[in-house]
Amino acid sequence: MGASKIDIYSKEVNDIAQMAKVFAHPARVAILQYISKQNSCICNDIVDEIGLSQPTISQHLKVINDANLLNGTYEGKSICYCLNTERFQEFQELFNSFFNTTKSNCC
């Protein structure tokens, strides 16, 4: 596989691609929805709720975390996850700008 050339694109383009990757898998969307519905940060119950193995959940959490959409705190050996709502807001604004600009370019 060839080397990635993400450095030739703007930060905005890379951010959009990274966020799109998060939403490109239904398990990651389900994980985000589940975490968003909790009253506090959650640790181990993601596996029980989503129905995937611990290693698979961990891989999905890594992709979500790489996009900086999670805040985590350690409780013993466990990481407890909450959504990074500020980052969600940034991405919402970024996507809105992208879609609005792209749409206006077509007219």
pLDDT tens track for 36-78: 998 777 767 888 888 899 899 989 999 999 999 998 887 777 7
Residue 92 parent element (H or E) = helix 85-106
Region of poorest pLDDT, from 2-11, 28-37, 75-84, 87-96: 2-11
The pLDDT of residue 1 is above 50? no
Q: Is this structure's pTM higher than 0.75? A: yes
What's the gap between Cα 49 and its chain centre?
A: 18
Domain 11-106 classified CATH 3.30.70.20? Answer: no
Q: 32-65 burial by CB neighbour count: b if 16+ within 10 A, else e?
A: beebeeeeebbbeebeebbebeeeebeebbebbb
**More reliable by pLDDT, 99 or 41:** 99
**Residue-level pLDDT at 26:** 96
